[in-house]
Amino acid sequence: MKLKKVLVVAMVMLIGVAAFGATIKVALVAPFTGLGSILGDYIKMGAQLALEEINAAGGVNGDLLEMVVYDDAANPSTAANVIRRALFQDNVVAVFGPNMSSSVIGVHQLAQQAKVPMLVGATSPSFRYSVIPNDFLFRLRADDKVKVIQLVKYAVEVLGIEKPGIIYGSTDYCIAALEVAKEEFPKYGIEIVALEQIKEGDKDATGQLLKMKNAGFDGLIGLTHESEAAVSVNQLRQLQIDVPIIGFSAWGVPAFTDLAPEAAVGVYSVQGFNPVDPDPAVQAFVEAYMARWDGKEPSDPGQAYYDGMYLLADAIRNVGTDGTKLAEYLANEATIVGVQGELKCDEHHNFTNVCLISQFDGKDWQIITKLY
């Protein structure tokens, strides 16, 4: 029954077909229901904006891109079902998503089996190419190993945290980040004094925070999804525990600050995108996005899928729609300049390592430093 509901929401967005020849069908698989559903619209609007721009400029070699959108409900089983449909029934030439790391790990073999490129915004280092050598799997934004290394460095060297307490979630996204933090803090001679878990959907972190306080922590490290970030920070403030707070990517987006607008003031985050970034490419994207989507501001990971659509268009323009040739081109030859700067596939099959250290001031995330 759930699958039927998911399939019902599959939508086709086709722009300007009458004026052009054939269409090139691509899939977008993202969560519009369930855990992570808050990200689905950001992803779709970023990808659709790029698609509309490419089609308006003449398409790809005279053909138009057509995007079929599937709801995977952030569930690996559902993701597998919709991706099978995209690959073997709808015959897409590439798949954007899934965006949840656990779903990517569960479905990437399908892209390999079909020999169709899969370009994802999921950030767990557990599916780097060195770990999962899938020639058809690519990542469109910096992975969390890069971000957590920068987080630990900033926590120690700038915030002066000597007794970190870590709160983390239970998904692969969170656990993989935790493993990186457990590797990095000892490199500075620092012991993590408290490790506490908050499961996705939990509404109370009081017990975990009090255990951290009793352990003498002097800084909170956040490795959770957005909702659990808000629960943790809101309750930390209610308990009047005054320590520096720094979280990774899910702590640096509106999905977090909208749930904790006052408590989030002063929180640091390692971000993948910041709409106040003065980089001309970022500002051009923000302006176009807000013009297209009734003044709504873009958020991570929308920029990654925007860049990804341009990467794919460049690949199709150069080698056509054969999946193996597309994957080879993306891995070895594709180089474009996008919202995230220069995009070029590295040894991990990541197209970028860009990230930012920012602090929330109650309205915006103020950029402290941008790292490449």
Least confident residue range of 81-85, 146-150, 233-237:
146-150
Judged against a pLDDT cut of 90, whether residue 8 lies above it is answered with no
Can you list the domains of the chain with their CATH numbers? 23-142+280-352 (3.40.50.2300), 145-271 (3.40.50.2300)
pLDDT of residue 263: 97
Average pLDDT in the 343-361 region? 96
Query: Mean pLDDT for the chain?
Result: 92
Tens-digit pLDDT profile for residues 99-137: 988 899 999 999 999 999 999 999 888 899 999 999 999
3-state SS, the chain, equals CHHHHHHHCCEEEECCHHHCCCEEEEEEEECCCCCCHHHHHHHHHHHHHHHHHHHHCCCECCEEEEEEEEECCCCHHHHHHHHHHHHHCCCCCCEECCCCHHHHHHHHHHHHHHCCCEEECCCCHHHCCCCCCCCCEEECCCCHHHHHHHHHHHHHHCCCCCCEEEEECCCHHHHHHHHHHHHHHHHHCCCCCEEEECCCCCCCCHHHHHHHHHCCCCEEEEECCHHHHHHHHHHHHHCCCCCCEEECHHHHCHHHHCCCCCCCCCCEEEECCCCCCCCHHHHHHHHHHHHHCCCCCCCCCHHHHHHHHHHHHHHHHHHCCCHHHHHHHHHHCCEEEECCEEEECCCCCECCCCEEEEEECCCCEEEEEEEC
Judged against a pLDDT cut of 50, whether residue 9 lies above it is answered with no
pLDDT of residue 20: 56
